[in-house]
């Protein structure tokens, strides 16, 4: 039986969540209907909203259910950008170009974002750049994957639409100084969106204490089902919707998934603070088994994350060899799996492309045991040797052509 060590990609659904989900799937009634069956669905959905809100220190009214982390990130970034650049109707004619007839709404065109963000963020801001005239100001990260606060402070100004950052890097696990970023941005009245998908369930989150405008989370990272997430929107924030029709939720239209919400709420109610004991055992074991392995990311990292690069290895080769040996791990984000290129996160941290290609991310979950960690460590040296031999053979073949 395979040992699952890729919980950052998705965590198996918890038994209590599965039971609540399957029971809720039998419900009849649209939560927006006013008859008794519809209102029963609505009651369960709103109870779930309260559970999710409580898990992140927010009010229930601030939780908007979505289809997952990617939608939440898109809604936050595009919605904040559009809202910050909206021209009041009274000023439309004053803003109209006399030659083209178009109205320039880009009063705050700049977005501050780091290259080491998740691709849901990078692709969203690059879409705004290509189609909406956004100006991207790429905030550097250091060799540990931590955002450069000095650069951010110098870059903040009145023409900035928003700042967006990860709470914890989804590949190397480094935690970001969210409170410090929000404080810097607040001095200029700039809203901050935080992608907390990877951090949610592993570190304490208090949405109100952070002062964030919006925060993205997802159910399947905490033992809930795939297909439901949430965007937590501060009462003081304005976000323009991506889709229109129905206004069932704040900034989001569409029939609400009551069963998914029930499962999400159940998973949220089962969150327990993460511990570092097993992660540290894993890190120490890898370092002892393969001394040349390099731990990437900050010491201030997620309690379930260990990310290494292995000199002379291709990460994909390591992954396949470990898979054959019975261990499920990853080379980085599952959203980029199968893409034959070095991690953009590691490149942003200053690694060369050959260094970045030898990456392996091992992430633990609530069901991971010490015996599974030890078994992985025992299997690792053979996989590393095999990956190096494969790489050497490929280089010899290439040189011989």
- With a CB cutoff of 8 Å and minimum separation 6, the contacts of 55 are 200, 205, 268, 269, 271
Q: Which residue has the tokens 């939440």?
A: 72
Residue 255, CB-side half-sphere exposure with 13 Å CA sphere:
7
Please, what is the end-to-end C-alpha distance for the chain in angstroms? 41
Measured CA to CA in angstroms, residue 394 lies from 314, 368, 399 at distances of: 11, 35, 9
Q: Given the structure tokens 């901050």, which residue do they identify?
A: 192
Coil, helix or strand at residue 112: strand
Q: What Å distances lie between residue 159 and 81, 82, 155, 194, 353, CA to CA? A: 11, 13, 10, 20, 35
What contacts 287, CB < 8 A, 6 or more positions away? 293, 295
Q: Residue 46 is inside which H or E element, if any?
A: helix 36-55
What SS3 state is found at 327?
Answer: strand
Alpha helices in 270-369 (DSSP H): 277-289, 315-324, 344-348, 353-357
Residues 6+ apart with CB under 8 A from 119: 333, 335, 336, 344
Catalytic residues: 335
Q: How far apart are CA 399 and CA 388, in angstroms?
A: 16
d(CA 296, CA 309): 7
Q: Which tokens hold the place of 163?
A: 């700042």
Q: CB-based burial of residue 185 (10 Å sphere; 0-12 exposed, 13-18 middle, 19+ buried)?
A: buried
CA gap 43, 298 in Å, rounded:
43
């Amino acid at each position: 039986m395979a040992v699952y060590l890729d919980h950052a990609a998705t965590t198996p659904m918890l038994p209590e969540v599965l039971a609540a989900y399957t029971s809720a799937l039998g419900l009849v009634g649209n939560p927006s209907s006013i008859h008794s069956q519809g209102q029963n669905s609505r009651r369960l959905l709103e109870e779930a909203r309260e559970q999710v809100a409580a898990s992140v220190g927010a009010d229930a009214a601030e939780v908007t259910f979505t289809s997952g982390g990617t939608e939440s990130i898109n809604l936050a970034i595009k919605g904040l950008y559009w809202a910050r650049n909206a021209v009041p109707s009274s000023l439309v004619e004053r803003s109209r170009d006399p030659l083209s007839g178009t109205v320039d709404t880009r009063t705050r065109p700049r977005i501050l974002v780091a290259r080491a963000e998740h691709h849901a963020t990078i692709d969203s801001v690059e879409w705004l750049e290509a189609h909406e005239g956004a100006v991207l100001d790429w905030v550097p990260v250091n060799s540990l994957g931590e955002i450069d606060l000095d650069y951010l402070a110098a870059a903040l100004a009145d023409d900035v639409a928003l700042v967006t950052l990860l709470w914890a890097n989804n590949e190397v696990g480094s935690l970001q100084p969210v409170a410090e970023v929000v404080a810097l941005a607040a001095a200029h009245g700039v809203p901050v969106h935080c992608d907390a998908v990877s951090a949610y369930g592993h570190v304490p989150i208090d949405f109100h204490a952070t002062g964030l405008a919006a925060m993205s989370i997802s159910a399947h990272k905490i033992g809930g089902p795939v297909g439901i997430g949430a965007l937590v929107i501060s009462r003081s924030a304005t976000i323009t919707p991506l889709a229109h029709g129905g206004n069932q939720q704040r900034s989001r239209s569409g029939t609400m998934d009551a069963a998914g919400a029930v499962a999400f709420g159940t998973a949220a109610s089962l969150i327990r603070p993460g511990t570092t004991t097993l992660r540290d055992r894993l890190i120490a074991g890898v370092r002892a088994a393969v001394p040349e392995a390099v731990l990437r990311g900050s010491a201030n990292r997620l309690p379930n994350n260990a990310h290494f690069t292995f000199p002379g290895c291709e990460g994909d080769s390591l992954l396949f060899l470990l898979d054959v040996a019975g261990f499920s791990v990853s080379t980085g984000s599952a959203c980029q799996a199968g893409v034959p290129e070095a991690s953009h996160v590691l490149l942003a941290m200053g690694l060369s492309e050959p260094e970045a290609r030898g990456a392996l991310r091992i992430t633990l979950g609530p069901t991971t045991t010490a015996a599974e960690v030890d078994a992985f460590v025992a299997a690792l040296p053979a996989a590393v040797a095999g990956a190096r031999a494969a790489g050497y053979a490929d280089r010899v073949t290439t040189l011989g052509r």
